[in-house]
Amino acid sequence: MLNILITGGAGFIGSHVVRHLVKTYPDYTFVVLDKLDYCASMHNLTDIMECRNFRFLMGDITNVDFVNYIMKTDNINVVMHFAAQTHVDNSFGNSFAFTHNNIYGTHVLLESAKNNPNLKRFIHVSTDEVYGETPMTSEEGYTEGQILNPTNPYSATKAAAEMLVTAYAHSYKLPVIITRGNNVYGPGQFPEKLIPKFCMRAMRGEKLPVHGDGKAVRSYLYIDDVVEAFDIILHMGKAGETYNIGTKKERSVMAVAEEICNVFGLNKEETIRFVEDRPFNDCRYFIEDDKLAALGWSEKTSWEEGIKKTLAFYRDADGWWKKSLVTEALNN
């Protein structure tokens, strides 16, 4: 029997994963620890709040005593660590918060896990951005053995957290697994991210802000495919390994903006507005997912289907987050 602690479980990816696992594995118990930061929402967990194998705790992963308490009282034997500050733009202006949450918070969890003799898995959720920029001319993506080369404060904190995870695996024989994923989109994502921001601004008849020249490309995975990946990694992943969760289908920021305009019947020239780029903006992140594919995973959701499901959510998302926070996110 697995007793699973999921940090950041009221956030976008974490909540989708926990809802799937709670419903699919009734013999497992799940504890979600989330401090309900601006981008999280209890609405993400509404349909499992009454499930007997689920418990929600509001709290911070940097609280040493609280984390230790949960580990012991709930007999935790698996940790799935999603909690993090993730918005790259914010990391340029408030980098200390990223260091505190992403590095120190991970360190607290590792220290607690180190003292847990029943630990079977520590799944650390990282990002493709730790690899740094992929050359635009490259036809092959980065594999899990690539040397890390983060280029912004956010990815630097995620890479540093990975170093801690790896060090604890070596020093204390912790059964760790690291995942590095592409950009994820779908229902329930706070509209500071590109796709939900474009969807909500388009619905309001507002301009779509494109950083720089819009030529930067990203690989977008629909959330249901990512959930399946974590299910497979939880049950079939090998301790000590790293798994990329990626897609070969790339789109430029400009192409995404144009497709959203097409969906809403908006004039592209009038709707798309070019804005000042970040201090540094990687043009491309491209990764290989052969290791995960060998476990049986594959991308199943087409871009068209994923966008259709995502738009359906945002058309009826009023009240999902505080209105003032949404307005601030859409205007930044």
89 belongs to the catalytic site: no
DSSP-assigned letter for residue 128: G
Q: Exactly one of 34, 60, 129, 162 is catalytic; which is it?
A: 129
Query: CA quadruple 184, 187, 190, 196: dihedral positive or negative?
Result: positive
- Grouping H, G, I as helix, E, B as strand and the rest as coil, residue 294 is coil
CB 178 within 8 A of CB 124: yes
Tokens of 41: 């929402």
Name the strand (E) or helix (H) holding 220. strand 217-222
- Helix H or strand E encompassing 169: helix 153-172
Q: How many CB atoms lie within 10 A of CB 268?
A: 14
Cα dihedral 150, 155, 156, 161 sign? negative
Find out whether 270 and 186 touch, Cβ atoms under 8 Å: no
Determine the longest span between alpha carbons in the chain, in angstroms: 60
Is 128 catalytic? The answer is: yes
**Of 60, 142, 144, 154, which residue is the catalytic one?**
154
Name the catalytic one among 34, 128, 289, 299: 128
Among left, alpha and beta (phi > 0; psi -120 to 50; other), residue 212 is left
168 carries an active-site annotation: no
Q: Active-site residue numbers? A: 128-129, 154
